[in-house]
């Protein structure tokens, strides 16, 4: 039985009325992407998410994946679900048509990814890693490497992983020690990697590991890292599988959440060395890995949206059915569902409004990625890519941090029963905990935002985004949306000041900027989410004013959630802006003795 219903109405609203799908359909290679096709894809993806993946979510959490005799056994039903997944062509959705893919844009994939992750995040992590591996191999691989490996990754026959982290290094990739020794047309790798999602599993016959390692003559630091493709089984020139490679899962981590997803410790070269193939040029591995990592960071941001949606649906269902207490202010009244209690309504509206804001912002980022990759005009491509690059750390960092709050609120709605595993609310909160950590903690995302995405270009991309936000403010006209307009205008002004401060202070006070980077990222997310809610309010107001009776309740709901966001979420911008611009001294001034044991 499934307790997840794909939010197709809101997805279609964002795709068709906020993004403007016709704009994406005008891009080269996207001519087939019309409303009818996209709606059909969403319908079918929703059925698969509801009928196949969601019923396995609880199974995956309770059973988990297990390592048995050097092989990982995934939970009951997962292997068959993956078979149905690739038979349905879902793995090939955005893949290069020259290698068997369907060539659909990222914006369509974003909506589908959301459904997979809402339904069953533990399952969806496997194809998510393959998306990144496909991106990296497409960017760096030789024609021969692509011919041998890419098609099998795209159709899902094989899966991919990303191997960065080592026990002694953590996020400090300059400390990577895995060695790659040249041997003819290939290399022998020796080392250990940890935290490898789906590093071993029973879905497919082969797994392609993308591994960061050092050549013998490599320079120190991150400039000496190269990227290698290391298959679980070696692959013959005709595409058939050869002998087992010297790479093995030696243990699985015992985790707080996402139990269905095997998080592996991988050993390379315990015997003769693991055979690997250099991708791209030597010593450019970190640069190449960021191609994969950007895909993954966006995907993790979508997971934040997805788990929030699932938690909201579960909390709403409970609030509708749980009868407790009487209506506030009604003496002697009948007992009512807790949905009638003001604080429960506040909590549910906060979950709903923030989830809708995150969804819209993530889809806007995906559309920018599509324009950045496909637009025929170089200037348009560059501008769109700059917007995508700016938004990706926000989508990843803000959406996942917000998901922690939303899933916690979901438990609060349930009250004591939310602390009981059988209700399901606790699993969402446990699963969400990892999202702020992997593919870079929130601090790493924030430093990327203030350093690479704002200070480096003097704030040009951020100012372009702020100009679009101001354009939205200008469109909000009339008494009904006046509070939304006022709150959004105020918060955009705060963001503009904070961006200017980051640009100026980065040269003179980089530690101060770093101390306020996370509040700044959250500020950017809160305001950018308000921007999307303002856009949604404008569309809804326009539709209702024009007498659009197709779904007036939906559009009134959009106005209501936008107003709630303006009243309850956008005011956070004041505190976040203050912490970002003025909070560094209290972080940096205390002596280290403060932290003495």
The set of catalytic residues is 439
Residue corresponding to tokens 């890419």: 150
Single out the residue of 108, 113, 126 nearest to residue 39, CA to CA: 108
CA-nearest of 511, 389, 398 to 457 is 389
- Output the furthest CA–CA distance in the chain (Å, rounded): 86
SS3 content of the chain, % helix, strand, coil (to 5): 65, 10, 25
3-state secondary structure of 76: coil
Distance, in Å, from the CA atom of 267 to the CA atom of 72, rounded to the nearest integer, reads 15
Per-residue tokens: 124:
């969806």
CB 265 within 8 A of CB 249: yes
Other C-beta atoms closer than 10 Å to the C-beta of 139 total 13
Cα separation, 282 vs 573, whole angstroms: 45
Q: 274-279 and 186-197: which strand pairing?
A: antiparallel
Distance linking the first and last C-alpha atoms of the chain: 51
Instruction: Please answer whether residues 411 and 384 qualify as being in contact, where contact means their C-beta atoms are separated by less than 8 angstroms.
Output: no
Distance of alpha carbon 435 from alpha carbon 304, whole angstroms: 7
**Cα separation of 250 and 406, whole Å?**
35
**Nearest Cα residue to 150 out of 159, 125, 197, 294:** 159
Bridging pattern class, strands 207-213 and 226-231: antiparallel
H-helix segments, 141-222: 143-145, 151-154
C-beta of residue 14 within 8 angstroms of C-beta of residue 24: no
Of the candidates 106, 114, 95, 130, which has an alpha carbon nearest to the alpha carbon of residue 45?
114
Which two tokens mark 247? 């790479």
Using DSSP, state whether 5 is helix, strand or coil: coil
Does residue 189 sit in helix, strand or coil? strand
């Amino acid at each position: 039985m499934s307790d997840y219903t794909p939010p197709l109405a809101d997805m279609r609203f964002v795709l068709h009325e906020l993004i403007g799908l016709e704009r994406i359909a005008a891009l080269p290679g996207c001519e087939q992407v019309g409303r009818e096709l996209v709606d059909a894809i969403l319908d079918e993806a929703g059925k698969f998410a509801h009928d196949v993946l969601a019923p396995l979510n609880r199974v995956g959490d309770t059973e988990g994946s297990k390592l048995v005799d050097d092989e990982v056994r995934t939970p009951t039903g997962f292997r068959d679900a993956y078979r149905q997944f690739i038979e349905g062509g879902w793995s090939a959705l955005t893949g290069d048509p020259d290698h068997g893919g369907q060539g659909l844009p990222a914006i369509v994939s974003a909506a589908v990814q959301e459904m997979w992750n809402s339904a069953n995040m533990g399952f969806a992590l496997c194809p998510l890693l393959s998306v990144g591996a496909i991106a990296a191999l497409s960017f760096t691989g030789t024609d021969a490497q692509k011919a041998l490996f890419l098609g099998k990754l795209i159709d899902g026959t094989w899966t991919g992983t990303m191997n960065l982290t080592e026990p002694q290094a953590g996020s400090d990739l300059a400390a990577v020690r895995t060695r790659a020794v040249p041997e003819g047309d290939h290399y022998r790798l020796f080392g250990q990697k940890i935290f490898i999602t789906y590093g071993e599993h029973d879905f497919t016959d082969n797994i392609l590991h993308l591994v960061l390692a050092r050549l013998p003559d490599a320079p120190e630091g991150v400039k000496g890292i190269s990227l290698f493709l290391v298959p679980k089984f070696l692959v013959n020139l005709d595409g058939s599988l050869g002998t087992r490679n010297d790479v093995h899962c030696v243990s699985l981590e015992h985790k707080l959440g996402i139990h269905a997803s095997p998080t592996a410790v991988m050993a390379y070269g315990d015997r003769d060395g693991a055979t690997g193939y250099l991708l791209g040029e030597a010593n450019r591995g970190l640069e190449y890995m960021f191609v994969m990592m950007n895909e993954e960071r966006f995907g993790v941001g979508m997971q934040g949206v997805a788990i929030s949606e699932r938690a909201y649906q579960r909390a709403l269902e409970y609030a509708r059915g749980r009868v407790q207490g009487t209506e506030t202010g009604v003496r002697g009244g009948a007992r009512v569902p807790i949905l009638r209690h003001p604080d429960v309504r506040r909590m549910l509206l906060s979950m709903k409004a923030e989830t809708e804001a995150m969804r819209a912002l993530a889809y806007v980022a995906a559309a920018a990625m599509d324009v950045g990759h496909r637009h025929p005009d170089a200037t348009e491509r560059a501008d769109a890519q700059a917007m995508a690059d700016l938004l990706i750390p926000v989508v990843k960092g803000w959406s996942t941090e917000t998901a922690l709050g939303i899933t916690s609120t979901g438990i609060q709605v349930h009250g004591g029963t939310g602390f009981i595993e059988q209700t399901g609310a606790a699993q969402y909160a446990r699963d969400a905990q990892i999202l702020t950590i992997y593919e870079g903690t929130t601090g790493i995302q924030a430093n990327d935002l203030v350093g690479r995405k704002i200070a480096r270009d003097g704030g040009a991309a951020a100012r372009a985004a702020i100009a679009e936000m101001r354009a939205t403010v200008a469109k909000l006209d009339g008494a009904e949306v006046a509070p939304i307009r006022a709150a959004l205008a105020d918060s955009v002004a705060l963001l503009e000041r904070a961006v200017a401060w980051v640009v100026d202070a980065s040269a003179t006070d980089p530690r101060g900027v770093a101390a306020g980077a996370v509040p700044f990222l959250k500020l950017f997310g809160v305001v950018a989410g308000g921007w999307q809610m303002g856009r949604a309010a404008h569309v809804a107001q326009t539709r209702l004013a024009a007498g659009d009776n197709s779904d007036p309740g939906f559009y009134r709901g959009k106005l209501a959630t936008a107003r709630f966001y303006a009243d309850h979420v956008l005011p956070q911008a004041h505190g976040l802006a203050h912490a970002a611009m003025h909070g560094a001294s209290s972080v940096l001034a205390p002596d280290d003795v403060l932290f003495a044991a």
